[in-house]
Structure 1
Amino acid sequence: MIVITLSKVPPSLRGDLTKWYQEVQTGVYVGNVNAKVRDQVWERIIRDIGSGQAVMVYNAQNELGYQFRTTRTDHEIVDFDGIPLLKRLNQVKSPSSKKLGFSDAAKFHRIKMYSKRSKKSKAYQVKMPLFVAVDVETTGLDLTKDDLISIGAIKKGEDGELKKLSLLIQTDRVISPEITKLTGLSTEILEKKGVSLQVALTRFLEFIDDAPLVGYNLQFDDAFLSKSLKLVQEKTLHNQMIDLLPIVKKRNRFIDNYRLSTVLAEYDITNSTPHHADSDAEATFALAEKLIENQDLIF
């Protein structure tokens, strides 16, 4: 059991805690999570608490059966023969006099930040692997009924220059107003600027060759590509498939949601035209490079 009390903290921090704990009373949160999540939550509190205060009490193997942490500056946690005690200070410490790293969570935060800086410094020595970022747009979400209407792909050549492939694909299906609003593609546009499915997939296969394919929620793209390849009797994809979604979920436990737009904002990546295959592929490529630099993605 873990109990957290908050006072005078930003509303965003209260919202974050409700993902893991139940607010049984205003500012009082109760939950039962493992030690890793508990420490990450405390780290998030330390980071976002502003001028507020927080106390965390949790089970521990000591004489009392519990341990606690606090951000209060008028008290200090002391260890008395293995028993944690809260000592009231005669004078309230000013923020400038508070010793950095006064708690295990603060030390953990400093270690993590140092680790990130270390990763970034090493990243410049890491040679980027060859891969192709891919995204597709379709007439809908139903694999059995809907068709590919756009493919976007991007890779970096041996000269370091980005090489892009943007394909619009003709279809017999009428494009719905919802899909047009989302992708900017209409039946008229595809008739004028699109190519046949056979031509599009041939050019796509030539572009990707045998390079690993990277995507965000790649299962969706792979399913429509595989279905379309069978329709035109082209060879199936045997490329290595790397989906960035589960990697991001594993590395970012506290993100609000895992929509591509939210994840891109978390990594400071701009996507000028979302739900356009070429733009989404370019943004996915940038996300993959960030994950590689952080050593979260290793081929």
Structure 2
Amino acid sequence: MNIFRRWWYQYKFRHHSVKKLFEPYRGEELVSLDCETTSLDPSSAELVTIAATRIQANRILTSESLYLTLSPPDSLDAGSVTIHKMRHQDLRHGLDAREALTQLLDFIGNRPLVGYHIRYDKTILDRYFRQMFGFALPNKLIEVSHLYHAQLERQLPNTCYDLSLEAISRHLDLPPTERHDALQDSITAALIYVRLKHGDLPALISPG
């Protein structure tokens, strides 16, 4: 978000608690974010679950993670259940979207957001936020697959790489996960970020 738009939102929400969201972030924490949705089309997908995990330097605060389930959306059908494995009965105690997004805002504040395909998640969240609150999330985005690719390019320029979450995790020697859900994927993205920022990237080829 450019500086002029930030100023506009700070003025627009000058008497509202969300004003601080549009101030530049001065801290050192980040938040790893992931969402499960009813489809892979960000223009129409509806939120099913949201998860977020704080990162402090090389520490991932899993004990303080946020995990929210939403009420079953209208587009939840058998096809979408195959994507995220969340059925209507799993969401019967879910939050309405406004309450879930309010809790998410309280958790993330204006911290930078880390994730795998984070722009996909933010596109969907922004659609909800614009509809319900009148603004899109202003947070800076950090895509872990881009960080990973940039480091590999320094080893083997102009080479094709497998940038799937599973392949990145294997190459970085991260622990395997039994089930992918929003919380686990947010933690995995956080682990990738910390490993890339605070560890050595394993060589793609062994010296011989």
TM, length-normalised to structure 1: 0.51
Tell me whether 181-190 or 278-287 shows the greater mean CA deviation: 181-190
Distance 1:181 1:197 in 2: 22
Question: Pick from 170, 180, 189: which aligns with 2:81?
Answer: 180
CA RMSD in angstroms comes to 2.5
8 Å CA contact 1:249, 1:258 repeated in 2: yes
Offset of 1:170 from its aligned partner?
A: 1.6
Q: Secondary structure at the match of 1:257?
A: coil
Q: Are positions 1:257 and 2:158 aligned together?
A: no
Question: Could you give the per-residue CA deviations for residues 111-153 of structure 1, whole angstroms, max 9, x where no partner exists?
Answer: xxxxxxxxxxxxxxxxx94100001111001223221111110
Tell me whether 280-289 or 235-244 shows the greater mean CA deviation: 235-244
Q: Secondary structure at the match of 2:29?
A: coil
Matches within 5 A, 1:117-132: 129-132=28-31
Distance 1:255 1:167 in 2: 36
8 Å CA contact 1:143, 1:224 repeated in 2: yes
8 Å CA contact 1:214, 1:244 repeated in 2: yes
Q: Secondary structure at the match of 1:131?
A: strand
What are the ranges of 5 or more consecutive residues in structure 2 without an aligned counterpart?
A: 1-26, 154-158, 202-208
Distance 1:256 1:231 in 2: 38
8 Å CA contact 1:271, 1:283 repeated in 2: no
Offset of 1:185 from its aligned partner?
A: 0.3
Question: Pick from 142, 151, 155: which aligns with 2:50?
Answer: 151
Letter in 2 for 1:182: I
Residue in structure 2 matched with residue 220 of structure 1 by the alignment: 120
Q: Please tell me whether Structure 1 or Structure 2 has the larger radius of gyration of its CA atoms.
A: 1
8 Å CA contact 2:127, 2:136 repeated in 1: no
Distance 1:213 1:234, change over 3 A: same
Q: Percent identity?
A: 22
Q: Are positions 1:167 and 2:72 aligned together?
A: no
Offset of 1:234 from its aligned partner?
A: 5.2
Residue in structure 1 matched with residue 183 of structure 2 by the alignment: 278
Distance 1:271 1:175 in 2: 28
Distance 1:250 1:237, change over 3 A: same
Q: Secondary structure at the match of 2:66?
A: strand
Q: Secondary structure at the match of 1:242?
A: strand
Distance 1:197 1:291, change over 3 A: same
Question: Could you give the per-residue CA deviations for residues 72-125 of structure 1, whole angstroms, max 9, x where no partner exists?
Answer: xxxxxxxxxxxxxxxxxxxxxxxxxxxxxxxxxxxxxxxxxxxxxxxxxxxxxx
Distance 1:130 1:274 in 2: 27
Offset of 1:157 from its aligned partner?
A: 6.3
Offset of 1:156 from its aligned partner?
A: 4.0
Distance 1:169 1:275, change over 3 A: same
Question: Pick from 195, 208, 220: which aligns with 2:95?
Answer: 195
Distance 2:112 2:179 in 1: 23
Distance 1:212 1:282, change over 3 A: same
Distance 1:255 1:266 in 2: 15
TM, length-normalised to structure 2: 0.71
Letter in 2 for 1:168: T
Distance 1:157 1:291, change over 3 A: closer
Distance 1:179 1:149, change over 3 A: same
Tell me whether 199-208 or 255-264 shows the greater mean CA deviation: 255-264
Q: Are positions 1:245 and 2:148 aligned together?
A: no
How many residues are treated as equivalent by the alignment?
A: 167
8 Å CA contact 1:182, 1:275 repeated in 2: no
Offset of 1:225 from its aligned partner?
A: 0.9
**Greater strand share, 1 or 2?**
1
Question: Pick from 35, 38, 49: which aligns with 1:136?
Answer: 35
Letter in 2 for 1:261: E
Distance 2:83 2:175 in 1: 18
Q: Secondary structure at the match of 1:193?
A: coil
Question: Could you give the per-residue CA deviations for residues 230-283 of structure 1, whole angstroms, max 9, x where no partner exists?
Answer: 121254211111111212112225675111111111111125244410000011
What are the ranges of 5 or more consecutive residues in structure 1 without an aligned counterpart?
A: 1-127
8 Å CA contact 1:169, 1:197 repeated in 2: yes
Distance 2:160 2:198 in 1: 20
Distance 2:149 2:180 in 1: 21
